[in-house]
Amino acid sequence: MNIIISNSSGTPIYEQIREQIKNKIVSNELKTGELLPSIRVLAKDLRISVITTKNAYEELEKEGYVQTIPGKGTYVANKNIELIREEQLQKIESLMDTAVSIAKISQISKEDLRNMLEILYGEEK
């Protein structure tokens, strides 16, 4: 599993870890029931404080992505796919909203915007 931490980015380190693990769960790189490294091992491997990894795991647990079984470890939770999808949709909507606002300000047509989307989405495939 890759986790890449930037010390110079403005995003807090626990946030970076949370976000990256979350993405791996959403993309199914980390599968339900999979055991995550312990907070101490992860802290040592990333050379960060234990409290930082603990914060990240606690946040993930609150959001329902992982589950900690005392004495055993932290596992990827049996996640609610619908809920995650809903969350992603909201995220896309807000980003699209920004794109539309910018387009309107600069008088870029709906057509142009649609074309752009076609190209971007197509490229991804």
Residue (58 or 63) nearer to another protein, CB:
58
| Contacts of 46 by beta carbon, 8 Å cutoff, 6+ apart | 3, 5, 17, 53
Residue (45 or 112) nearer to another protein, CB:
45
Residue (14 or 65) nearer to another protein, CB:
14
Least distance from C-beta 18 to another protein, angstroms?
12
Closest CA to 99 of 85, 117, 86, 87: 117
CB-CB contact of 71 with 77 (8 Å)? no
Binding site for another protein (CB under 8 A): 7, 10, 12-14, 40-41, 43-44, 47-52, 55
